[in-house]
Homo-oligomer: A and B are copies of this chain.
Amino acid sequence: MVSPAPSNTESAEARQIKQTAYHHGNLRRAIIDAALEAIMESGPAGWSLRELARRAGVSHAAPAHHFGDKAGLLTAVAAEGFEVFANALERAADDVLDVGVAYVRFAIDHRPYFEVMFRPELYRMDDPSLQTARERAAHVLVTSAGRLSPGPAQNRLTTIAGWSLAHGFASLWLSGALPETAHGDPEALARSVIRLLFGTTRG
Measuring CB to CB, which residues of chain A are less than 8 angstroms from any residue of chain B? 42-43, 45-46, 118-122, 156-158, 160-161, 163-172, 175-178, 181, 189, 192-193, 196-197, 200
The answer to whether A157 and B196 have CB atoms under 8 Å apart is: yes
Known: A165-B165, A168-B164, A171-B171. A193 touches B157 (CB 8 A): yes
Each complex incorporates copies of this chain amounting to: 2
B contact residues around A121 at 8 Å (CB): 42-43, 46
The residues of B that contact A171 with a CB separation of less than 8 Å are 118, 167-168, 171
Q: How far is the CB of A128 from chain B (nearest CB, A)?
A: 17
**A164 partner, pick from B157, B160, B165, B200, beta carbons under 8 A:** B165
A121 CB, min distance to chain B CBs, angstroms: 4
